[in-house]
Structure 1
Amino acid sequence: MRSPEPLTGHIAETVTVPWSVVPEYHCFGCSPHNSSGLGLRFTPHGDGLLARFRLDRRFESYPGVVHGGLIGVICDEVMGNLIVLARRVPAFTVSQRTRFLTPLLIEHDYRCVATLSADKDGTIAAVADILDEDDGLCASSSAVYRPFALADVRHQLTLGDADVARLQHALSTPDPHFPHRNGDHP
C-alpha cells in the first residue's frame, strides 16, 4: 500500500500513535515496521481522525476489487486509534458492523474518517465512513470498544516491562491535536 497525497491539495500534520514508542511494533494497520501491513497514517479531522489510503493488488479479492475484510480492518484501525489518541487509553474491539455500499477499487484513492459516537456501560462507541475522491460513501462501520489497563492484559500482550513503561508514558502525555480525554470531551 502507498499513501496518496491529500485530496484537498494541502498536507495535514500526521499524528503519532502511542504504539510508536514500542520499538518495531508490528500492527498490521499502522506500523511502519510491518512490510505486509497497510501502513496507515492518521491526521486530525474535526472531532475525529482521518486516514487516506490506496491499496494495490496485494489486497485484492475479485480482480480489481479490494478484499472486503480489509475495509473492516481499515475502519477498525481508524476508530481504535481515534480512541487511543482522544481518550489516551487503549481499547479492544468488542463488536463491529460494516455496511458495504460499493466495491472499493484497487489503485484508487480513498479516505476513512472516524468519530466517537457514545460511551455506555464502560464501553466507547465509534463510527467510520470510507469515502472516494468525489466524497461518495463506499462503506460505513460502527463498533464498540472496551478500554483496558495495560497491567490487566499483560498476559495477553507481548510487551516487556520497558515497553509497558514507554507506552504508559506515551498514553499519559496529552496530544495537542486531541486535548480532551476520557469523559471530558465536547
Structure 2
Amino acid sequence: MHSHLMTPSPDGPREADDPEDYLSVPWSVLADYRCFGCSPHNPHGLQLRFSAHADGISTRFRLERRHESYPGVVHGGLIGVIVDETMGNLIVLQVGLTAFTTALRVRYLAPLSVGAEYRCVARLRGVPDATPGRGDAAPVGGTAGGVSGGRANGLVHAEAELLDEAGTLLATASATYRPTPMDTARDRMMLNPTEADRVAQALAATLTRPPATGSTAAGLPTSEEH
C-alpha cells in the first residue's frame, strides 16, 4: 500500500490523490450526500477517505486552526467524530450493514496538535450471528482483544486507535452499533426509493469483495482493552 501524504486544502483535511488505495463507501453512489465525516461534497466537513489496514480500515488526517479548541489544540469532539466515522464505515465495508451508533466511549491519552498528521485505525471486535437484512453473518475472529464474535443482542462492536506519525497512541475508542434493515434506514436517512435501492445495491456489493488485506504500518501498537 502506498503511503498517504496529505496536502493542505482550504476546504478541509485531504489526503493526496491515490484513488487505487481508497475504499469506496456505499454512500458515494449518491451524488449529493453530505456526510460531515467522509463526503467530498461537504466543504465544511472533514472529507475523510479510508484505506484497507490489516483486519480493518484506516484514515489519515490533518486538522486546521478552524478545528481547534484551545489555541493549537484539536477540539476533542472532532476526535470523537473521526473514530466514530472510521468504525462506522468499517462495519459498512466489511459486514455490508447500515448501522447506527448506540454507544461510544473515547479515552483521550494526549492532546492532538493543529497542523500535525495523524492516523485512525479501526477494527471489528465481533458481529452477531444473525443480522437483519443480511442473513447469517460469520463471526469475526482474530481481532484485537481476542473477541471472536457471536450473538450480542444484535449489536456490532468495534474499536479504534488514533496514533501520530511515530506510532504513539493518543486516543482509543470502543463503540457498539445497531444494524438496521435498509427499509428502516431509508426513512431515517430521508432517501427516496431510487436512492435507497442504489445504496442497498452498493451495500450488497461490499459482501462480494474479498476481505481487506491492506498492509499495516510497522510498529503501530494495538490496545488489548479500551
* TM-score calculated relative to the size of structure 1: 0.89
Residue 147 of structure 1 and its aligned partner are, at CA, apart by 0.4
| 1:45-84 pair list within 5 angstroms | 45-84=53-92
Residue 123 of structure 1 and its aligned partner are, at CA, apart by 0.5
Counterparts in 2 of 1:163 and 1:4: CA distance versus 1, 3 Å: closer
* TM-score calculated relative to the size of structure 2: 0.74
Larger radius of gyration: 2
Mark the runs of 5 or more structure 2 residues left unpaired by the alignment. 1-11, 128-151, 214-226
Residue 157 of structure 1 and its aligned partner are, at CA, apart by 1.5
Mark the runs of 5 or more structure 1 residues left unpaired by the alignment. 180-186
Residues 100 and 138, structure 1, Cα contact 8 Å, conserved in 2:
yes
Aligned twin of 1:165: 197
Q: Partner letter of residue 2 of structure 1? A: P
User: Do structure 1's residue 147 and structure 2's residue 158 form an aligned pair?
Assistant: no
Residue 156 of structure 1 and its aligned partner are, at CA, apart by 1.9
Q: Partner letter of residue 51 of structure 1? A: T
Residue 121 of structure 1 and its aligned partner are, at CA, apart by 1.6
Identical columns (%) = 48
Residues 44 and 177, structure 1, Cα contact 8 Å, conserved in 2:
no
Distance 1:159 1:12 in 2: 29
Q: Which runs of 4+ in 1 moved over 4 A?
A: none
Q: Partner letter of residue 184 of structure 2? A: D
Residues 61 and 118, structure 2, Cα contact 8 Å, conserved in 1:
yes
Aligned twin of 1:26: 34
Aligned twin of 1:127: 159
Give the one of 14, 34, 37 matched to 1:3: 14
Aligned twin of 1:98: 106
Counterparts in 2 of 1:177 and 1:34: CA distance versus 1, 3 Å: farther
Q: Tell me how many residue pairs correspond in the alignment.
A: 176
Root-mean-square deviation over aligned CA pairs: 1.9
